[in-house]
Every structure is written in C-alpha cells, then in structure tokens.
Amino acid sequence: MERTCLSKMSFLLAFLVLSTAGFEAAQAANGVSFSFPVFNDSIGKKIELFNDSYFQTEGDHKVIQLATETDGKTYRSGWAVYAKSIPIWDKSSGAVVTFTTHFEFVIARNTTNSFGSGDGLAFFMAPLGFRAPPLSAGKFLGLFNTTTTGNPANQIVAVEFDTNKNSQDPDDNHVGIDVNTIVSQANRSVNTGSLKDGKKWDAWVDYDGAKKQIEVFLGRTGSKPAAAMLRYGLDLANFLPENVMMGLSASTGMGTESHLLLSWEFSSTTSWNFSSIDIEGPEIGAPVRNRRKSIVAAVAAASGAAVVCGVVLVGGWWWWFVRRRERPKTEAENEIAALDKEFSQGPRKFTYTELKTATKNFSEEEKLGQGGFGAVYRGVLEDTRELVAVKRVSQGSKQGKKEYVAEVSIISRLGHRNLVQLLGWCHERGELLLVYEYMRNGSLDSTIFCDGGAPLEWGRRYNVACDVAAALVYLHEDWDQCILHRDVKSSNIMLDSNFNAKLGDFGLARLVERNMESGHMTAVAGTLGYLAPECIMTGMASMESDVYSFGTVALEIACGRRALDERCNMRLVDWVWDLYGKGRVVEAAAEGLSGGFNGEEMERLLVVGLWCSHPDPAARPRMREALKVLRFEEALPCIPRTKPVTVFVCSDPVRLSAVLSSTSLYATCSQMNTTNTSFVLPR
C-alpha cells in the first residue's frame, strides 16, 4: 500500500514537473514580454542600472534618470537594461524575431549650462556581457568611442533620439538608426516638437522578422501614430548575436540635460524554443540547456589548450633565447614594441597598406598642407568609405616622433565636441601616420587670412572664438588632469562643414597634475607670435601661456590680421592695445567685414583678446572666465589703457637671440607663413 502511494506520488510529482517545464517551454516559444508602466520597488532585479543611471523618486513611484549633470560633472552616461537575455534569431532554423517595444521618456535641457544641450538617448541591443567602453559619453551615447565606432565586431543595433548636432547629423533634433557605429544608417528630423523641451514623448520601435524591417514611431498623445516616422530594411541576424541584452542608454557632454525613462514595455514573438538567462549570470551567452555540456567541453578544451600552450611556450622560449643570442633587437624594433604597448588601448590601429590606398599612395593631389613635422593628406578609407585626414610625420624627425607619441597617448583619451577626433594611427615601414576626422572647411588661418573669396562672416567668427575657448576650458579644468596644449594658433584650429571649430594638433601637449598648473620644459616649444613672453624668457609652460595664445587667436579672428603683421609694423597685440588706449578699439575690426558685425560682440572679442594677452601671467583670466565674458554672462573686464611692461627674472634664461633669429619678426607677406610653423629650441 505504501509502495503504491509512493509510486502514485512520484508519478504525480513527475507529471507536475513535466507539465511545468512544458508550460515554460510554451512561454519561451511564444517569445518574451514585460511591462513596467511605472518603476517601483516591485520590479526587484528585473531592470539593471549601469554607470551613472539611478532611480529617482517622483511622488508615489520612481523614474529612471539615465544620465544628467551631477555635482557640476559633465560627460556622464548611464544604462537601464532588462535583466534577462532576449532571443533575436535561431541558428538552426534561421528564423528571426518579431517584436515591438514602447517607452516613455522626458529629455530636459539644463538651461544654466552655457554649453547648450546634449546628447540624447538610445534604445539598443548588444551582445550579452557588453559594457560601455571608456570615453563613450557625449556624442557616442554610452555605446561607442573613437576606437570602437564603425567596427563590425561590435554587434550593436540602436535607435537614437539625438539632441546634439555633430558633423554627421542633420540637426540637433532627430531620430536615427545606428548599426555598429554612431553614424546613423538612416535618420529623420523630428518636426512635431523638440526632443529636449522637458515634455513627455512616447516612442515605439517595431521589428518585423519576416520583412526584415525596423520602424520607429514617435508621438505625444500616448497613442501609437498610424505611420512610422522612420523605416529601414535591416536583417538583425546579420548584425546581432542570437541572444542579446536590451536596454536604453543616454549620455551628456559639455552641454547637459536630464534623460528620464518613465515606463517601458516589450513583447516579442518567436518560432523556436529558447531559455532566457540573467545578463549578469556567471555563464553569459551560454544557453541554460547546454551548460553541463559546455562545462565538460570547456574542461576538455582547456586541458588540450594547456598542453598546446606548454609546447608553444617551451618552443617559443627556445627560439627566443637562441635568436636573442644570435642578434639583439635593433633600436627601431625596440621603439615599435614600445609604441605598440603604449597605444594598445588607444584608437584603431591601421595598416600602412590601408592608408597608402586611402591617400592614393600619398599623392600630391591629395595633400592638404605641410606642417613643421610632416604633411597632411586627404584620404578615403576603403572599408567604410569615410573621408579622413592622414598626417604623415617626416621620416627621421626625432621631434616628429615625440609629437606622434604625445598625440596618440593624449588626444585618444579625450572626448569633446571642440577637439579634433583622432581616429587611428600606424607605425610600419619606418612611417609614423595619424588618422583624423576630415574637416571640410580646413584650418581657421586659411579662412580668415585668404586673399581671395568671401571672408568668414562675423557670426561664424564669434562662434569660432567661443568654440576654441570651450575646448581650452575642457583641457585645463574639466578633464581628469590639466592638459597644456602649448601650440594654440589659428592653423591648429579646424572648421567642420558647419564652421564649428575644433582644436587639433596635440603633438606639443603635456599632462600636468591639477595642483601643478605649470610645467618646466627642457625646450621652448610653440610658434612665434603666439608664444607668451614668459615662455621665451623662462621656458615655463602653463595654463596662462595657453591663455595668451588664445588671446592672440581672438585678436586674429576679430582683426583678420596675423599675429606678426607687417601692415601695422608691430605685433598685432601692440597695435590693438594702442587703439584701445585711444578709445577706438573697434577700428581694429577686419577690413573684409565692411561693418557687417555686431559692435558689442566685436568689442568683447577684442577686449578679451587683450585681457588674455596681458604681459603678466597673473593678470590673465582663466579660460572659463574668458568664455563667460564672450557669452555675455559676465561684464567686460577693466584692463590698462596702456599695455603694461613686465620684467622677468630668470636664473636660466633661454637663448632669446636664437629664438628671434629663427624667424624674422617683421617678415614680408610671403614669409609670414613661417609663423605657422611650430618649433622646439633647446635651452
């Protein structure tokens, strides 16, 4: 009797287990669905938050703050991710998921931030275990960085709601579909309102697995619009792994805004069985049903790999030992090994063949210009068809090699809309090559000093000055360490297709600790006309010397004259200061403007230029102060009517005669181009 009861109970238990398993399988076969009309404590661990995102209490419920400025800190990014994996396609059948997702969000610009808004949010799908790469805030929306964007290995598909215009964007109010890159494959401007006006938006992203098509709907009434605002053909099986993590990401740059996620729901339909796993699980990416087999296979593979590795290591050691005894490494080989180690975490490494092809074998027809340590060529990358600028460092130049190392090691860590983006590097066949984003309007000096053609109109000139000031604020005060550029000049300021300015050429830049605001250099570095007097006399570079260089650039922008200009038979700063003392400073305005400028802005730019060019470093402003005056957030400063004379006392003076003899102070117009050449003189 007892055996019969036990048998019946065992049968019943087995039936219940099998029935439950069948029910879960049926659910899995139908797809995944979840709904969070509000966020509260009941969601438990169903939503995972990453980086700078957090739950924010609003009345009796919560919302998710994806990214916003906190404690004055810019360049923030955050994610909200569903805690389980989402199936996208089935390898055995080739079937692809059909899904719809709906979320409510509010983006509100921080009106107290003078740098504007930025940068937006995105719905994304990515491989299990994916994490935001370093320096992925700002325009990269927490998903890419300068190294990873455009890499097919990313396996990321996103729908962006972009609130900041970058060079590849139509405007600062659009929706785009991104596949492995921040450059959208398709985009459309939002013409029914501003994405960042602080009001609620409803967004739907639908994917049809049969049609291989993604659609985006956007509205404000809570009801799904009848027509999609954006539609794009896309086979997710070609770009995503079988199972993905799914979430929403947002980021800020120098311009900031808040990104609130109010609700989120998702529903998918699949034709195959699957098992969802925790995205934070110990075996991310391995289906639950295969874990035991996977472990056995992994142990076997590891054992075999250990044997192979042992043989390889012993053989490799023997080969290395013998080879080392036969021939020591050359100095060039040691340098290349050191460079590879230095740049291992930097931007993309190109091959020499790639860049040779891109520039048509460094053709003279593709040459954009010649600098102190190398030439710059226009190129088109064969794999992405992206237009780039390739700097070829002069062979045999020791200073050029130092510039190359400084450029990659410093600028690759930075991310700001007013800094030229370094895309990659190459050192092969004795060549040192740097790859930058292509700036369609060239350098500032070629625009404001051109003899023919229309001059740069005033509104754009003034914006350029503000852009350069913002870049220096970031370098001096907003990044982790203080960066001294040491070569701020008009030829190192580039203009994109919309005449936004970006500071480039970090070959002479140096990192200094925040509490060490100057650095003693073993050589005078920079460009005549832009060098602060204390740099020449003492060899010291500082934030104040960068400010001085900016002051010179500001005067060049306003006056349309070079820092060393034969027309006024004196240095530009002296000529403008003389007019300022006579109460006629606005007369210094560029002749080509023909009165077509804003008088108040002109006065501000000229006075700020003089303020920054003060001979006494202690009397110069910080770049943030200068920018506030340019943005009309502070009153004009009071500066002396007569240019002060400052005496420098230096126990180890630079050979000033060597500096002055290197370039004639009052050169002819044809010779004035030499003031665009940076130099380094030993002390």
Q: What pLDDT is attached to residue 109?
A: 85
458-682 CATH pick, 3.40.50.300, 1.20.120.530, 1.10.510.10, 2.170.190.11? 1.10.510.10
Q: Is the pLDDT of residue 240 over 90?
A: yes
Average pLDDT of every residue of the chain: 80
pLDDT tens readout for residues 263-309: 999 999 998 888 777 765 333 333 333 333 444 444 444 455 555 55
pLDDT tens readout for residues 308-328: 556 556 555 555 444 544 445
Cα–Cα distance, 67 to 74 (Å, whole number): 10
Please state, in angstroms and as integers, the Cα–Cα distance from residue 644 to each residue in 529, 616, 639, following that order.
18, 8, 10
What CATH number does the domain located at 349-437 have? 3.30.200.20
Domain ranges of the chain: 29-285, 292-328, 349-437, 458-682
Contact 124, 248 (CB under 8 A): yes
Q: What pLDDT is attached to residue 317?
A: 53
Cα–Cα distance, 341 to 446 (Å, whole number): 37
For residue 54, the cross-strand partners are: 65
Closest by Cα among 408, 417, 411, 402 to 483: 411
Task: Enumerate residues 6+ apart whose C-beta is below 8 A from 14.
Answer: none
Tokens describing residue 520: 């003693």
Nearest-Å Rg of the Cα atoms of the chain is 30
Q: Is the pLDDT of residue 72 over 90?
A: no
Cα–Cα distance, 272 to 662 (Å, whole number): 75
Which residue, chain included where needed, has tokens 């339909």? 269
Q: What is the dihedral of CA 221, 225, 231, 235, to 10 degrees?
A: 90
Q: What pLDDT is attached to residue 221?
A: 87
Report helix, strand or coil for 590.
coil
Q: At what angle do helices 543-559 and 599-612 cross, to 10 degrees?
A: 150
Residue 516 CB coordination number (10 Å): 11
Q: Is the pLDDT of residue 67 over 70?
A: yes
- Class of the CATH domain delimited by 29-285: mainly beta
Helix (H) or strand (E) holding 265: strand 257-269
Helix (H) or strand (E) holding 610: helix 599-612
Confidence class of residue 506 from pLDDT cuts 50, 70 and 90? confident
pLDDT tens readout for residues 513-562: 655 544 444 355 678 889 999 888 877 788 999 999 999 999 999 999 99
pLDDT tens readout for residues 325-359: 444 544 444 555 555 655 554 567 899 999 999 99
Contact 525, 679 (CB under 8 A): yes
pLDDT tens readout for residues 405-449: 777 777 777 778 899 988 888 988 888 899 998 998 999 998 898
Cα–Cα distance, 92 to 609 (Å, whole number): 68
- Residue 626's Cα: distance from chain center in Å? 24
Q: Is 616 a catalytic residue?
A: no
Mean pLDDT of 99-106: 97
Tell whether 398 is in a known binding site: no
Q: How far apart are the first and last CA of the chain?
A: 104
Q: What pLDDT is attached to residue 657?
A: 44
Tokens describing residue 130: 């994916």
Q: Is the pLDDT of residue 217 over 70?
A: yes
- Taken as a whole, the chain contains a residue count of 683
Which range, 19-28, 115-124, 522-531, 617-626, has the best average confidence (pLDDT)? 617-626
Cα–Cα distance, 294 to 285 (Å, whole number): 11
Closest by Cα among 470, 475, 474, 467 to 501: 467
Which residue, chain included where needed, has tokens 């020449």? 536
3-state secondary structure 469-532: HHHHHHHHHHCCCEEECCCCCHHHEEECCCCCEEECCCCCCEEECCCCCEEECCEEEECCCCCC
Tokens describing residue 605: 């730019």
Residue 627 CB coordination number (10 Å): 24
Catalytic residue among 162, 445, 467, 487: 487
List the Cα angle 596/598/603 in 5-degree steps.
Answer: 120
Q: Is the pLDDT of residue 493 over 90?
A: yes
